[in-house]
Chains A and B, each alone.
Chain A
Amino acid sequence: DADVTQTPRNRITKTGKRIMLECSQTKGHDRMYWYRQDPGLGLQLIYYSFDVKDINKGEISDGYSVSRQAQAKFSLSLESAIPNQTALYFCATSDANQPQHFGDGTRLSIL
């Protein structure tokens, strides 16, 4: 089983819909992150959380929200999806000052 699991792996939806992407981990890490990957731009940090009661905005948080339901679960929501949010989304986890471990991503298409 994967240490960092993202669901769904693929999603196609329409403009204006609310979308939730979920991430769960079995690594026991305190820190969790959501990134967006676009061709030619690398990975951009959307939100991150250093423990259950901690939520921080990243570089590109506008249009997104997150919830840290438990140490092992971190979900990303798009309240009203728009086409330019079409991208590959990655969740990652880490311990303090340690490398990040990534899930296999969610490919999101917004029509």
Chain B
Amino acid sequence: QQQVKQSPQSLIVQKGGISIINCAYENTAFDYFPWYQQFPGKGPALLIAIRPDVSEKKEGRFTISFNKSAKQFSLHIMDSQPGDSATYFCAASITSYDKVIFGPGTSLSVIP
């Protein structure tokens, strides 16, 4: 049973467009929701993270939207660039427990 669901599995966006990746979770004890970005041949790297006491967090072109009642959160990449082409993982954890549960990942391709 997947504790963190993620969609779509793959995504193709034109340069300058908006990329949207959606995630959902079941465990209401989760209190930390990071997104990781992974380039081929590299390990995942933290991109942006949010806690459930806020509904949105923005860092540059990357925004997390969080809906606590629906137990859903999403990553929006504005003005998508070819350099954003990577695999993106949403994740969730219980801070005091310190184990991160990852979604299955979304492969993003930004085409010129």
B9 in complex: contacting residue of A40, A94, A100, CB < 8 Å? A40
A97 / chain B contacts, CB cutoff of 8 Å: 95-96, 98
- Decide if B42 is an interface residue (CB 8 Å cutoff): yes
B89 / chain A contacts, CB cutoff of 8 Å: 42-43
State whether A90 and B44 are in contact (beta carbons under 8 Å apart), knowing that A40-B104, A42-B104 are contacts in the complex. Answer: yes
Which of these binds chain B: A12-20, A67-75, A77-85, A101-109? A101-109
- Cross-chain contact A58 with B44 (CB below 8 angstroms): no
A50 / chain B contacts, CB cutoff of 8 Å: 98
Tier of interface size on chain A: 20 to 34
- Cross-chain contact B43 with A31 (CB below 8 angstroms): no
B4, B6, B44, B105: most-surrounded residue (chain A CB, <10 A): B44
B9 / chain A contacts, CB cutoff of 8 Å: 40
- Cross-chain contact B34 with A43 (CB below 8 angstroms): no
- Decide if B102 is an interface residue (CB 8 Å cutoff): yes
Min CB distance, A56 to chain B, in Å?
Answer: 9
- Cross-chain contact B98 with A31 (CB below 8 angstroms): yes
State whether A102 and B44 are in contact (beta carbons under 8 Å apart), knowing that A41-B104, A42-B89 are contacts in the complex. Answer: yes
Residues of A within 8 A of B (CB): 4, 31, 40-45, 48, 50, 58, 90, 92, 94, 96-97, 99-105
Residues of B within 8 A of A (CB): 4, 6, 9, 34, 41-46, 49, 89, 95-96, 98-100, 102-105
